Amino acid sequence: MRYSKADRLVIIGSGITGLMTAINARLSDLDVYLLEKGKSPSGSSTRIAGVLHSGARFAGWDDELAKVCFEEWKWWISVLEKEEKKIGGYFLKTKAESDQYLESWLNSLKNIGIPFTEVENPYIGGDIKKESIDRFYFLPEIQINARKLLNKLLGLAINLGVIYLPSSIIEKVEHTEGGYRITVRNKDTLKLEGIPVISSGIDIPKVAEMFGINVTSKVYQGSHILLNTDLTDLLEFVHKPGTYDLLIPSDFGTFITPTLVPYNGLTISEEELAGLNQVLKNLFEIEPEVIGYMIAGRISISSPVSTLKGDYLAYIQDAILAWSNNYACGRRLAYAIADMLGIKKALTPAHI
């Protein structure tokens, strides 16, 4: 089901999904209220590792998602041309891993069009025990300053006339014909009427419940392991068990992302830590005491049915629920929501 006409959106959550949706809707002349429970955007979008995914990490096991990521990557590249640093990244194959996956991964990259180059001696700033690694491939992944970009988008949204309401608490929700009346407390108490877009990240189930909508979800924690060293040239190491590892040099922090582990109360289990320590020791000769933690939440919603692969988008009981699986996909969601609302896909790189 789709809305035939939309006049006003009440967007709940000002992460990348909410912001991109707000900007696009304003460009189509809708009235937009953007509610945020924090003083400013405070969800996963502000805490990410800052990798603009080329899709390479999904190639070979989920080509459809890899394709989507690559499309979004190209869009953001055209936006970030001058501002952000393109540093590239390395994908590495350890000797312990099979040649079969390498072959299917390379074929997928070629089919999708993601550029890559095999390199003999990658510069990663750290000490790599090369005897444990077979091959290195250079990839166009990009390190972005996610918070800086988010603030810029927020400024743009406000300039376009989005009414931003930070420090907002939703007190009451009433279902009206084709929309909702939402009572919000921030400095004052406001009654807002319009079509809700619930883009509250890991809090989607909690907010949806206030609208009488039941959403089942799994929450994962991103187990970013921060290396507590004073290396100036740093690494990001993304490990997908049984497949490949990706190294992304960065100049502001060393991140090691072994994998997403099931949410377990904001700690990493002994077993996972032991596995990670082994990987670090084997590859970089890094000792466990240099490891620290950085934690944020990530949601995975399996029902009700999403209309998008990878991201989550659903229209339930006159409300739109949206969550982006990665930062770059905020634009894709804004376009998909425009389709639902029957409005233009107005947002172009020139606006940003």
Ligand X SMILES: Cc1cc2nc3c(=O)[nH]c(=O)nc-3n(C[C@H](O)[C@H](O)[C@H](O)COP(=O)(O)OP(=O)(O)OC[C@H]3O[C@@H](n4cnc5c(N)ncnc54)[C@H](O)[C@@H]3O)c2cc1C
Q: Which residues bind ligand X (CB under 6 A)?
A: 12-18, 35-38, 41-45, 47-51, 53, 168, 170, 199-201, 203, 207, 222, 224, 296-298, 323-328
State both tokens at 192: 């807002």
Element (H, E) at 332: helix 330-341
Closer of 102 and 323 to ligand X (Cβ) = 323
* Contact present, 56 and 141 (Cβ < 8 Å): yes
For tokens 């979008």, the residue is 45
Closer of 208 and 283 to ligand X (Cβ) = 208
Least separation in angstroms between CB 316 and ligand X: 17
Closer of 50 and 60 to ligand X (Cβ) = 50
Closer of 102 and 204 to ligand X (Cβ) = 204
- b/e per residue 23-34 (b: at least 16 CB within 10 A): bbbbbbebbbbb
d(CA 18, CA 34): 8
Closer of 170 and 340 to ligand X (Cβ) = 170
Least separation in angstroms between CB 262 and ligand X: 13
Sign of CA dihedral 306, 311, 312, 315: negative
Least separation in angstroms between CB 98 and ligand X: 27
Closer of 24 and 168 to ligand X (Cβ) = 168
d(CA 317, CA 22): 21
Least separation in angstroms between CB 238 and ligand X: 9
Beta strands in the chain (DSSP E): 8-12, 31-35, 51-52, 89-94, 117-119, 133-139, 142-143, 163-165, 169-176, 179-185, 189-198, 216-227, 236-239, 245-247, 255-257, 260-262, 291-303, 312-316, 319-323
Closer of 17 and 254 to ligand X (Cβ) = 17
Closer of 108 and 324 to ligand X (Cβ) = 324
Least separation in angstroms between CB 232 and ligand X: 21
3-state secondary structure 226-264: EECCCCCCECEEEECCCCCEEECCECCCCEEECCEEECC
State both tokens at 120: 């003999």
Cis bond before residue 196 (omega within 30° of 0) = no
Least separation in angstroms between CB 97 and ligand X: 23
First to last CA, the chain: 31
Least separation in angstroms between CB 338 and ligand X: 16
d(CA 217, CA 33): 26
Least separation in angstroms between CB 312 and ligand X: 8
Least separation in angstroms between CB 12 and ligand X: 5
Closer of 96 and 169 to ligand X (Cβ) = 169
DSSP letters of 168-180?
A: -EEEEEEEETTEE
